[in-house]
């Protein structure tokens, strides 16, 4: 039978996994047991909603067998099984994302990080076996099929024989090497220990035939071995155990197994609530974003159990979008088992739990921010965008819940600070919270508009994320202090005297300015100003849309043509002002050319494209050559 190739990314990944000397090979067992448990959950749930399937939950189990001589380890479940197509799609592809960064000569860390981006799952079994056979019969099909593979060079699928629904995974365990003894996966005591360590909480029995030494004759010290099927796990879900019975490591192992993460979670949040709706929850804040977090494919939600029985793998209604990165489990006896998922999501019970959980996560983050700023900053760098998005999403309805969780870069402290911290340090003469935006801190720092505000020794929040300004605009103010963009045309920082002076100049030269404005279609106004210290020109805005926001709108696929209302400001103290005045009188053609050049310069500073670079380049050279 011709072998089918793994999809190419999967193949490379598999190579990586097999050849990278990933230290913890043991985890393959928990991965396989966890898949088996999921299959049992799925079958049981189907039986609740499908009259044609009748199942007794007590019959559902996972079996482990080993054969030292044949070097075989077998894991069997009587769960939902897989059809031929499912074997193909589930076991023929690992990497669901097409954008993994493979490169030559990767370091061990890089390899582990790539593997870690989506969890190892079934493929981890290749760390310990050189041949794998999966025999499966789906609840939806009368035929059984066998999937077989020796690793990276491909797999075959053919018809098989299996009486009952479920899956049997047969691993041919590798021969021992100088570095590693694979025999441990064929040893009763070792297997028992591994199940206990990683899979104790699994809610179905994990059974194995175990040997008991029984004293036959006390005097002669004679023992007799007899075999007995034992259940290796306690079956108590980890969230039902008392907190002091569970170690940090247990929680971490549970998280890594259940949510396929190579890294420990950043935080574990447990709660047990008695009340109108009683429930237990076990939540995790991951330490890094899942590989698909910022894609359409990512699905938020918490696993929902009714007294230990899984009713929904990802109940989205339990989490607000801004906490969509949280993983975890909720178990409530007060939720009915056999109502439809749609009705369940509508239920007041779920709504109440969701509300409590939202508060609990928020409190945890607030505490982290206060007590461990370094950890919070690391969290914020990973998931802060989601919180900022939450501030302006849904017309800002959640902004008050989130305003104290967002951080921005402060020009004064040169690090991320909260709005509260900004306001507490405001100078007495300062009325507003100033911010400036651009694509990087360095670029913002170099903006002409920033100079004037920094001169007053006011702190400025430097916004570099595309969501930042939308977030600030939704907030409008913080503790009655308005947010003001330093690129706002009317900053109102000059003294009355200065204002008077500027007003007069602009009146005196109104014809000149009008003519400049007429020469540039896009600007609403051209004016002389005193706010610029050394720079000749800058672009400011009036109204709600800033230049940075316009850039975001421009990048949207369904761009609605929203534009910032821009003003070209010319530094009145710069010699270019006199030149303009002179040219206006003596050479109108030249005056127009200068106008174009100045406007283009202002656009470059603002990070905006120039439509006619060739023309502008020629104009500049002509002027230089004079
Ligand atoms: P994950 O479990 O993270 O989805 P895996 O690579 O471990 O990734 O498994 C891929 C898929 O194969 C599972 O999502 C499941 O649909 C299917 N699968 C694996 N093991 C079993 C099993 N014992 N019974 C039924 N389906 C299984």
Instruction: Give yes or no: residues 220 and 247 share one domain.
Output: no
Contact between 336 and 306 under an 8 Å Cβ cutoff? The reply is yes
Residue 362 lies in a domain: yes
The residue whose C-alpha atom lies closest to atom 23 belonging to ligand 1 is 36
Nearest CA to ligand 1 atom 13: 90
pLDDT of residue 369: 97
One domain, residues 474 and 514: no
Give a yes or no: residue 386 inside a domain. Answer: no
Residue with the bigger pLDDT between 174 and 11: it is 174
Which tokens in the block code for residue 609? 């494209």
- Given 373, 398, 427, the domain boundary residue is 373
Together in a domain, 220 and 362: no
Pocket test for ligand 1, best of 30, 34, 63, 90 (most atoms within 8 A of CB): 90
Distance CA 90, CA 230 (A): 31
- Residue 290 near ligand 1, beta carbon < 6 Å: no
Q: What CATH number does the domain containing 557 carry? A: 1.20.120.790
Instruction: Give the pLDDT score at 414.
Output: 97
- The answer to the question of residue 110 being in a domain is yes
**Ligand 1 site-directed mutation target among 13, 34, 35, most atoms within 8 Å of CB:** 35
504 and 567 inside one domain: yes
| Ligand 1 proximity of 36 Cβ (cutoff 6 Å) | yes
Rounded Cα distance between 232 and 190, Å, is 12
Residues 426, 334 share a domain: no
Angle between helices 510-519 and 588-605 (to 10 degrees): 70
Is pLDDT of 445 > 50? yes
Contact 311, 339 (CB under 8 A): no
* 4 confidence band (pLDDT: 50, 70, 90): confident
DSSP code per residue over 172-230: EEPPP-SS--GGGGG-HHHHHHHHHHHHTT-SS-EEEEEEEEEEEETTTTEEEEEEEEE
Q: Are 95 and 6 spatial neighbours (Cβ–Cβ below 8 Å)? A: no
Whether 53 and 199 map to the same domain: the answer is yes
- Please check whether residue 5 lies inside any domain of the structure: no
Domain that holds residue 445: 406-485
Q: Which atom of ligand 1 is nearest to the CA of 31?
A: 7
- Average the pLDDT over 115-144 and give the result: 85
Distances (CA, A) of 442 to 24, 98, 436, 463, 536: 43, 33, 12, 11, 19
pLDDT band at 343 (very low <50, low <70, confident <90, very high): confident
Rounded to whole angstroms, how far apart are CA atoms 409 and 392? 19
| More confident: 560 or 104 | 560
The finding on whether 260 has its CB within 6 A of some atom of ligand 1 is yes
Calpha distance 156→1 (Å, rounded): 7
More confident residue, 340 or 574: 574
Weakest mean pLDDT among 438-442, 485-489, 580-584: 485-489
Q: What is the pTM for the complete model shown?
A: 0.74
pLDDT of residue 257: 81
| Same domain, yes or no: 367 and 246 | yes
Interatomic CA distance for residues 39 and 531, integer angstroms: 68
DSSP structural state of residue 462: E
Pocket of ligand 1 contains residue 167 by CB under 6 Å? yes
Question: Is 514 within a domain?
Answer: yes
Q: Are residues 358 and 459 in the same domain?
A: no
Last-in-domain residue among 417, 451, 485: 485
Determine, yes or no, domain membership for 491.
no
- 155-164, 380-389, 398-407, 487-496: lowest mean pLDDT where? 487-496
pLDDT at 571 over 90: yes
pLDDT of residue 112: 62
Confidence class of residue 582 from pLDDT cuts 50, 70 and 90?
Answer: very high
pLDDT value of position 57: 92
What are 78-103's pLDDT values in tens digits? Answer: 999 999 999 988 887 654 444 455 56
Residue 378 lies in a domain: no
Distance 51 CA to ligand 1 centre (A): 25
Do residues 248 and 268 make contact, with C-beta atoms less than 8 angstroms apart? Answer: yes
Please say if the pLDDT value at position 342 is more than 90: no
Q: Are 289 and 325 in contact (CB under 8 A)?
A: yes
CB 375 within 8 A of CB 369: no
Nearest to 620 by CA among 612, 606, 588: 612
- What is the DSSP-derived secondary structure letter of residue 4? B
The alpha carbon of 14 and the centre of ligand 1 are apart by a number of angstroms equal to 16
DSSP state of 61: -
Give yes or no for residue 443 having a pLDDT over 70.
yes
Q: Give residue-wise pLDDT tens across range 543-556.
A: 888 998 888 888 87
Ligand 1 in contact with 82 (CB < 6 A)?
yes
* Phi, psi (degrees; rounded to nearest 5) at 443: -65, -40
Q: Is the CB of 80 under 6 A from ligand 1?
A: yes
- Average pLDDT score over residue span 610-618: 94
Q: What mean pLDDT value characterizes the chain? A: 89
Average pLDDT over residues 337-357: 80
Q: How far is the CA of 175 from the centre of ligand 1 (A)?
A: 26
For residue 90, give the nearest of 149, 45, 159, 48 by alpha carbon: 149
- 363-256-281-291 Cα dihedral, nearest 10 degrees: 60
Q: Token pair of 611, please?
A: 């439509």
For position 95, which CATH number holds? 3.30.565.10
Q: What is the CATH number of the domain that holds 413?
A: 3.40.50.11260
Cα–Cα dist 350/93, whole Å: 35
Both 511 and 452 in one domain: the answer is: no
Among 485, 518, 543, which residue terminates a domain? Answer: 485
Residue 541 lies in a domain: yes
Number of domains in the chain: 4
Question: In the structure encoding, which two tokens stand for residue 459, read together?
Answer: 């702190």
Q: What is the CATH number of the domain that holds 274?
A: 3.30.230.80
Asked if residue 263 and residue 367 are part of one domain, the reply reads yes
Q: Is there a single domain that holds both residue 312 and residue 448?
A: no
Cα→Cα distances 125→260, 330, 381, Å: 14, 30, 34
Specify the pairing of strand 62-67 against strand 72-77: antiparallel
pLDDT at 61: 98
pLDDT tens for residues 243-281? 898 999 999 988 988 888 888 999 999 999 998 899 999
Condensed to tens digits (0 to 9), the pLDDT of residues 9-56 reads 667 767 766 665 556 788 889 889 989 999 999 999 889 888 899 999
Asked if 531 and 607 sit in the same domain, the reply is: yes
Q: How confident is the model at residue 346 (pLDDT cuts 50, 70, 90)?
A: confident
Q: Which pLDDT score is estimated for 98?
A: 44
């Amino acid at each position: 039978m011709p072998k089918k190739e793994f999809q190419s990314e999967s193949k490379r990944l598999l190579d990586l996994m097999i050849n990278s000397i990933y230290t913890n090979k043991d985890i393959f067992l928990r991965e396989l047991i966890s898949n088996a448990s999921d299959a049992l959950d799925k079958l049981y749930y189907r039986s609740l909603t499908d009259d044609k399937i009748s199942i007794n939950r007590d019959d559902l189990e996972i079996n482990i067998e080993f054969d030292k001589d044949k070097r075989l380890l077998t894991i069997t479940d009587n769960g939902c099984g897989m059809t031929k197509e499912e074997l193909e799609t589930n076991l023929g592809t690992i990497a669901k994302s097409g954008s993994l960064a493979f490169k030559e000569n990767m370091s061990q860390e890089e390899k582990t990080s790539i593997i870690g981006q989506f969890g190892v799952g079934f493929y981890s079994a290749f760390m310990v076996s050189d041949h794998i056979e999966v025999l499966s019969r789906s609840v939806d099909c009368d035929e059984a099929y066998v999937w077989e593979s020796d690793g990276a060079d491909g797999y075959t699928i053919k018809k098989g024989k299996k009486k009952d629904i479920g899956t049997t995974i047969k691993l041919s365990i590798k021969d021992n090497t100088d570095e590693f003894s694979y025999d441990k996966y064929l040893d009763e005591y070792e297997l028992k220990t591994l199940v206990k360590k990683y899979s104790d909480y699994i809610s179905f029995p994990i059974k194995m035939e175990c040997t008991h030494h029984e004293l036959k004759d006390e005097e002669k010290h004679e023992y007799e071995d007899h075999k007995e099927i034992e259940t290796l796990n306690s079956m108590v879900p980890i969230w039902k155990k008392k907190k002091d019975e569970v170690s940090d490591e247990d929680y971490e192992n549970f998280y890594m197994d259940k949510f396929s993460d190579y890294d420990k979670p950043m935080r574990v949040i447990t709660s047990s609530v008695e009340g109108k709706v009683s429930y237990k929850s076990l939540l995790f804040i991951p330490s890094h974003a899942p590989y698909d977090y910022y894609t359409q494919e990512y699905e938020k939600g918490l696993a929902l159990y009714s007294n230990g029985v899984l009713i929904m793998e990802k109940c989205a209604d339990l989490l607000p979008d801004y906490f969509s990165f949280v993983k975890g489990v909720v178990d409530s006896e007060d939720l009915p088992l056999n109502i439809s998922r749609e009705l369940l999501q509508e239920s007041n019970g779920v709504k109440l739990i969701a509300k409590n959980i939202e508060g609990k996560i928020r409190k945890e983050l607030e505490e982290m921010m206060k007590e461990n700023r370094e950890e919070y900053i690391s969290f914020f760098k990973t998931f802060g965008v989601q919180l900022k998005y939450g501030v302006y999403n849904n017309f800002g309805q959640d902004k008050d819940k989130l305003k104290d969780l967002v951080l921005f870069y402060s020009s004064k402290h040169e690090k991320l600070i909260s709005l509260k911290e900004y306001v507490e340090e405001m100078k007495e003469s300062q009325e507003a919270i100033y911010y400036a935006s651009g694509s990087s801190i360095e670029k913002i720092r170099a903006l002409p508009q920033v100079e004037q505000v920094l001169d007053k020794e006011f702190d400025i929040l430097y916004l570099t994320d595309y969501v930042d300004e939308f977030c600030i605009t939704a907030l409008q103010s913080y503790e009655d202090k308005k947010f003001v963009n330093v690129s706002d045309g009317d900053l109102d920082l000059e003294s009355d005297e200065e204002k008077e002076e500027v007003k007069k100049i602009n009146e005196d030269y109104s014809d000149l300015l009008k003519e400049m404005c007429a020469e540039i279609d896009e600007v609403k106004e051209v004016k002389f100003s005193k706010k610029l210290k050394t720079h000749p020109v800058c672009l400011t805005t009036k109204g709600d849309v800033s230049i940075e926001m316009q850039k975001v709108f421009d990048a949207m696929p369904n761009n609605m043509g929203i534009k910032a209302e821009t003003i070209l400001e010319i530094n009145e103290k710069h010699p270019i002002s006199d030149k303009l005045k002179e040219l206006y009188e003596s050479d109108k053609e030249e005056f127009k050319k200068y106008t174009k050049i100045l406007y283009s310069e202002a656009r470059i500073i603002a990070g905006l494209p120039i439509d006619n670079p060739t023309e502008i380049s020629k104009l500049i050279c002509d002027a230089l050559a004079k």
